[in-house]
Amino acid sequence: MGLAAIVVVETGTADSYPAAPADTKTKQKAKAGVGEPLPCVEIMGRSMLERTIERFVHANVEVVTVLMSGDAAWAAQSTRNAHDRVKFKSVCDIGSAIGKEIREFSQSGIDHAFIVSANVYTETDLFDFYSFHRESQQRATKAIDRDGRLGFGIVDCGKALEIDIENILMRGEGAGSSYFVREYVSQLNHTRDLRRTITDALNGRCAMRPAGTEVKPGVWVDEGAQVHKRARIVAPAYIGRGSRIRQDTVITRCSSIEKDCYVDWGTVIEDSSILSDTHIGISVDVCHAIANGNKLLNLERDVVIEISDPGVMRSTSPVRKQPRSTIHPEEERVIVADLQEQKLSTPEPWQLGTNPIQG
């Protein structure tokens, strides 16, 4: 008896795979300001895709196949902890690729396979789900939670070829009894879902933990991060690997600073996430937002602001991962804040006094 898993990642090019109940508009909005599939975005040290893969690997699932509807190598790049059992495949048609994988599993003696959208992170007991599926003697069992169906299910590889798996598991058509997930579920349908997931993890609402070390209760600092003695980190918070937090900064209210970020003097990061390779300038106040390079997504107003002054915000990565354009100009309100005229080359004395820590 063997068990496999198929993790499906949507990169935005193919519209063949509705991983969640999201229409095209929602999908485009979902990537607003991020520019890459949400499961591949690193949050608290690891992407949700990595976490999903690791859950299967730790559960000793024999083979984990990641099907990407775009460039698989690009996603594999973000998955640092590659395991022998994990294979990445780039496919055009997700539906037929799942069928092909299941056929191969069946031929290699694997009886059952989990199929999950990478947009769905769940902490359900895989063994319990598997047992439920076997006892119900169905060809496929889909998982649901209190909000409805999830892009997650399990199929009997031998019998699955006779049915339309994609319809059963992802669209919820024609399936028998469903498995109810009581545990924590996070669906990444919009960029704000990243923030919700981070907040849940930092507040201990789920089993997911940030990478790195908990240096004091609720404050996680990852490898190589440098936090100035005069920086104020209010728990819970996460500082990613290689990030630098300079003096008189305040990181507060479940904020996360991902890898290789730089937060300059006197800046306040409140209830926000700074995605990897982002430089935040001097005395900037980032609240209820997600910052990625020079883009700032305000979660309260659902607006993406593109900052053209590199002194305020910029990407620190020489070549930023931009697989493809994701924001449609007519469907996203993009405000370009041209702050070039107000550019401040050197910090003025009043700027340093803006931080209340200095009294």
Partner 1 sequence: MCTRGPVIVMELPEKLNHLEGTTFLAEMKPLLESDRPRMVLDCSQVQHIDSAGIEVLLESMEEVMKRDGDLKLAALSPSCAAILELMRVDRLFEVFETADEAARSFRAIAAPEVAQTLPWYSGGYGITDLKTAS
Q: How far apart are the first and last CA of the chain?
A: 67
Task: Tell me which amino acid residue 198 is.
Answer: I
Using CA atoms, how far apart are residues 6 and 64, in angstroms rounded to an integer?
6
Distances (CA, A) of 18 to 33, 76, 118: 21, 21, 12
Which of residues 154 and 165 has its CB atom nearest to partner 1 in the complex? 154
Chosen residue from 1, 107, 146, 330 binding partner 1 by CB under 8 A: 1
Q: How far is the CB of 72 from partner 1 (least distance, A)?
A: 26
Which of residues 144 and 250 has its CB atom nearest to partner 1 in the complex? 250
Using CA atoms, how far apart are residues 5 and 105, in angstroms rounded to an integer?
10
**β-bridge partners, 148:** 145
- Residue 317 found at the interface with partner 1 (CB under 8 A): no
Q: How far is the CB of 32 from partner 1 (least distance, A)?
A: 26
- Residue 217 found at the interface with partner 1 (CB under 8 A): yes
Can you state the percent helix, strand and coil of the chain, rounding each to 5?
25, 30, 45
Q: How far is the CB of 339 from partner 1 (least distance, A)?
A: 22
Which of residues 59 and 344 has its CB atom nearest to partner 1 in the complex? 59
Q: How far is the CB of 359 from partner 1 (least distance, A)?
A: 6
Chosen residue from 93, 270, 306, 309 binding partner 1 by CB under 8 A: 270
Which of the 8 DSSP states describes residue 31? T
The DSSP element (H or E) to which 25 belongs, if any, is helix 24-30
Binding mask 130-169 for partner 1 (x = CB under 8 A): xx--x-----------------------------------
Q: How far is the CB of 140 from partner 1 (least distance, A)?
A: 17
Using CA atoms, how far apart are residues 288 and 301, in angstroms rounded to an integer?
10
- E-strand ranges in 205-312 read 213-216, 219-221, 226-227, 232-233, 237-239, 244-245, 250-252, 255-257, 262-263, 268-270, 273-274, 278-280, 285-287, 289-292, 295-298, 303-307
Using CA atoms, how far apart are residues 47 and 78, in angstroms rounded to an integer?
8
Q: How far is the CB of 60 from partner 1 (least distance, A)?
A: 4
Q: How far is the CB of 149 from partner 1 (least distance, A)?
A: 24
Count the residues of the shown chain that bind partner 1, applying the rule CB under 8 A: 32
- Residue 288 found at the interface with partner 1 (CB under 8 A): no
Which of residues 125 and 306 has its CB atom nearest to partner 1 in the complex? 125
Chosen residue from 268, 289, 299, 313 binding partner 1 by CB under 8 A: 268
Q: Are strands 303-307 and 334-337 parallel, antiparallel or unpaired?
A: parallel
Which of residues 15 and 128 has its CB atom nearest to partner 1 in the complex? 128
Binding mask 110-129 for partner 1 (x = CB under 8 A): ---------------xxxx-
Which of residues 89 and 253 has its CB atom nearest to partner 1 in the complex? 253
Using CA atoms, how far apart are residues 17 and 199, in angstroms rounded to an integer?
28
Binding mask 48-87 for partner 1 (x = CB under 8 A): ----------xxx---------------------------
By CB under 8 A, what part of segment 222-261 binds partner 1? 229-230, 232, 234-235, 250, 252-253
Q: How far is the CB of 2 from partner 1 (least distance, A)?
A: 8
Q: Are strands 303-307 and 295-298 parallel, antiparallel or unpaired?
A: antiparallel
- Which long-range contacts does 164-170 make (Cβ < 8 Å, 24+ apart)? 165/95, 165/98, 165/99, 165/102, 165/115, 165/140, 166/17, 166/94, 166/95, 166/98, 168/140, 168/142, 169/115, 169/140, 169/142, 170/17, 170/18, 170/19, 170/117
Using CA atoms, how far apart are residues 265 and 352, in angstroms rounded to an integer?
8
Q: How far is the CB of 86 from partner 1 (least distance, A)?
A: 16
- Residue 205 found at the interface with partner 1 (CB under 8 A): no
Binding site for partner 1 (CB under 8 A): 1, 3, 58-60, 125-128, 130-131, 134, 204, 207, 209, 214, 216-218, 229-230, 232, 234-235, 250, 252-253, 268, 270, 356-357, 359
